[in-house]
C-alpha cells in the first residue's frame, strides 16, 4: 500500500526539506503539499520533481491561519476522492511575526550558568508582536495551533481507520515553555511570547490527542527541528549576520547539538518518525533533531515539561472554541 503524506507549510524551509527527504526514503508515497501560496507551492513541486521525476505530488491550497480556508481545503480533499486515507499528517506550517531580540538578556545570559540552555532554547531572548486574524483569533495561535487542530478534526475520517494507524506530527520547538503559556490566556493576548506559548500549546495538544484518539488508530507526536536557517530565522536576524556568526554557531553546536542549521538536518526527527511504528512512540516525549559537533545527525527523545491534566483542560478549551466557530459558520 502506498503511503499518503500531507505536509503543511511544504513550500519552504523545513517543510520542503522534509518532502525531499521523504521522497528519498520512499519515492512511491502520495505526497500532498498543503500551502497558502499556490505559486510557491508550484515552485516547490517543480523542485521536488527535478530530484524525483515521476513522484506523485499534489497541491492543496490552505491558509491554516484562516478557518474558512481550512474548512474549504478539507472539503476539497474529501470531494476530490484522490485519497481514501492519510498515513502521515505533518503539521509543520508556523510563524514567528515581528521577532525582537532582547540584547540585554543575551549579554546577561552569556555570562551566566544558563548560557548553554539559552543557546539551545532561545529562552528569554525573543519577543513577538502578534495580530488578530479575520476570525478574531490571535494570529500565532490561529496559525501554529488552532487552524491545524481544525484541519485534523476535519480530516478525522482519513486518519481514524480501523485497518491501519495514522500519525500526526507537530513541528514544535525547544522554545516551547510552560511559563509562557497560560490556560486562562491560551491565545497569549497579554504577553509578548506568543511563539513560545503556541509551541507549548502544541505539546499539550499532542498529549491530549493521544489520550483521545489512540483507540481509533490515530497517534500524535511532537518534534523540535533545532535551530535551522530558514525564512523564520532570517526574520530574527538577516542572512548576512547569520553567515558572519557561522563560526560561533558551529562552536556552540559542539556544546548544544541543537544548531542543526540546515533544513535537511532540521528534518531529521520528522523523517525518523516516518520510519517508526506509531504505537511504539512515547506520547510524552518530544523528538529532537540533533547535529553533533562532527556534523552527524541523530534523534533524541526528551520528556516534555507538562502534566496530563493541563493537556486535557486545554483540549476541552479547544473543543469549546471549535463549537463556537462552527456555530458562527452555520
Ligand atoms: N527554523 C527554526 O529554527 C525552527 C523552526 N521550527 C518550526 O518549524 C516549522 C517550519 O518552520 P521553518 O521551515 O523554519 O520556517 P519557514 O518560514 O521557512 O516555513 C514556514 C512554512 O509555513 C508556511 N506558512 C506560514 N503561515 C502559514 C499559513 N497561515 N498557512 C499555510 N502555510 C503557512 C509558510 O508558507 P509561506 O511561504 O506562504 O509563508 C512556509 O511554507 C514551524 O512550525 C516553526 O515554528 C521549530 C524550531 C526551530
Ligand atoms: C552568537 C549567536 C549564535 C547569536 C544568536 C543569538 C540568538 C539570536 C539565538 C540563540 C538561540 C537561538 C534560537 C532561536 C532563535 C535565535 C536564537 C534566539 C529559536 C527560538 C528560533 C525558533 C525556534 O523554534 C527555536 C530556536 C531556539 C534557539
**What is the chain's pLDDT, residue by residue, as a tens digit (330 residues)?**
899 999 999 999 999 999 999 999 999 999 999 999 999 999 999 999 999 999 999 999 999 999 999 999 999 999 999 999 999 999 999 999 999 999 999 999 999 999 999 999 999 999 999 999 999 999 999 999 999 999 999 999 999 998 899 999 999 999 999 999 999 999 999 999 999 999 999 999 999 999 999 999 999 999 999 999 999 999 999 999 999 999 999 999 999 999 999 999 999 999 999 999 999 999 999 999 999 999 999 999 999 999 999 999 999 999 999 999 998 877
Atom 14 of ligand 2: nearest residue by CA position: 122
| Nearest ligand to residue 198 Cα | 1
What is the C-alpha separation between 271 and 107, in angstroms, rounded? 36
| Nearest ligand to residue 127 Cα | 2
Indicate whether residue 151 lines ligand 1 (CB < 6 A). no
The pLDDT score that the predictor gives to residue 280 is 98
DSSP 228: B
**Dihedral (CA of 183, 63, 273, 199) sign:** negative
Indicate whether residue 127 lines ligand 1 (CB < 6 A). no
The pLDDT score that the predictor gives to residue 187 is 98
CB 11 within 8 A of CB 41: yes
What is the Rg, in whole angstroms, of the alpha carbon atoms belonging to the chain?
A: 19
Angle at the Cα of 291 from the Cα atoms of 143 and 102, rounded to 5 degrees: 55
CB 140 within 8 A of CB 191: no
The pLDDT score that the predictor gives to residue 305 is 96
Atom of ligand 1 nearest to the CA of 11: 41
Ligand 2 geometric centre to CA of 257 (Å): 13
The pLDDT score that the predictor gives to residue 329 is 77
Angle at the Cα of 113 from the Cα atoms of 111 and 119, rounded to 5 degrees: 75
Grid cell of 112 as nine digits: 551566566
Catalytic residues: 195
The pLDDT score that the predictor gives to residue 330 is 72
Q: Domains in the chain, start-ordered, CATH in brackets?
A: 4-329 (3.40.50.720)
Q: Cα–chain-centroid distance for residue 2?
A: 24
Please tell me whether the overall predicted TM-score, pTM, comes out greater than 0.90 for this model.
yes
Ligand 1 geometric centre to CA of 162 (Å): 32
Indicate whether residue 66 lines ligand 1 (CB < 6 A). no
Ligand 2 geometric centre to CA of 121 (Å): 7
- How far the first Cα of the chain sits from its last, in Å, is 38
Residues with CB under 6 A from ligand 2: 101, 119, 121-122, 125-126, 173-175, 227, 233, 236-237, 245, 248-249, 252
Amino acid at each position: 500500500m502506498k503511503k499518503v503524506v500531507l505536509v503543511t507549510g511544504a513550500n519552504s524551509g523545513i517543510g520542503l526539506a522534509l518532502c525531499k527527504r521523504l521522497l528519498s526514503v520512499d519515492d512511491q508515497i502520495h505526497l500532498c503539499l498543503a500551502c497558502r501560496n499556490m505559486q510557491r507551492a508550484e515552485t516547490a513541486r517543480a523542485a521536488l520533481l527535478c530530484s524525483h521525476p515521476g513522484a506523485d505530488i499534489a497541491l492543496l491550497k490552505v491558509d491554516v491561519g484562516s478557518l474558512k480556508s481550512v474548512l474549504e481545503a478539507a472539503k476539497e480533499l474529501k470531494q476530490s476522492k484522490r485519497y481514501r486515507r492519510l498515513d502521515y499528517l505533518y503539521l509543520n506550517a508556523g510563524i514567528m511575526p515581528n521577532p525582537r531580540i532582547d540584547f540585554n538578556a543575551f549579554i546577561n545570559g552569556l555570562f551566566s550558568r544558563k548560557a548553554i540552555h539559552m543557546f539551545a532554547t532561545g529562552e528569554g531572548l525573543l519577543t513577538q508582536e502578534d495580530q488578530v486574524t479575520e476570525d478574531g483569533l490571535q494570529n500565532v495561535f490561529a496559525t501554529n495551533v488552532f487552524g491545524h487542530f481544525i484541519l485534523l478534526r476535519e480530516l478525522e475520517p482519513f486518519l481514524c481507520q480501523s485497518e491501519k494507524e495514522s500519525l500526526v506530527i507537530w513541528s514544535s520547538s525547544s522554545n516551547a515553555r510552560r511559563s509562557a503559556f497560560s490556560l486562562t490566556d491560551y491565545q497569549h493576548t497579554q504577553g509578548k511570547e506568543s511563539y513560545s506559548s503556541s509551541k507549548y500549546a502544541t505539546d499539550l495538544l499532542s498529549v491530549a490527542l493521544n489520550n483521545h484518539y489512540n483507540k481509533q488508530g490515530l497517534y500524535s507526536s511532537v518534534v523540535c527541528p533545532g535551530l535551522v536557517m530558514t525564512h523564520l530565522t532570517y526574520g530574527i536576524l538577516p542572512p548576512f549576520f547569520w553567515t558572519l556568526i557561522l563560526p560561533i554557531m558551529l562552536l556552540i553546536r559542539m556544546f548544544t547539538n541543537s544548531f542543526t542549521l540546515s533544513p535537511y538536518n532540521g528534518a531529521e526527527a520528522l523523517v525518523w518518525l516516518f520510519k517508526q511504528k506509531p504505537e511504539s512512540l512515547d506520547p510524552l516525549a518530544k523528538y529532537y533533531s540533533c547535529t553533533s559537533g562532527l556534523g552527524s545527525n541523530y534523534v533524541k527523545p526528551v520528556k516534555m515539561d507538562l502534566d496530563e491534566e493541563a493537556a486535557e483542560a486545554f483540549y476541552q478549551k479547544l473543543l469549546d472554541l471549535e463549537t463556537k466557530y462552527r456555530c458562527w459558520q452555520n
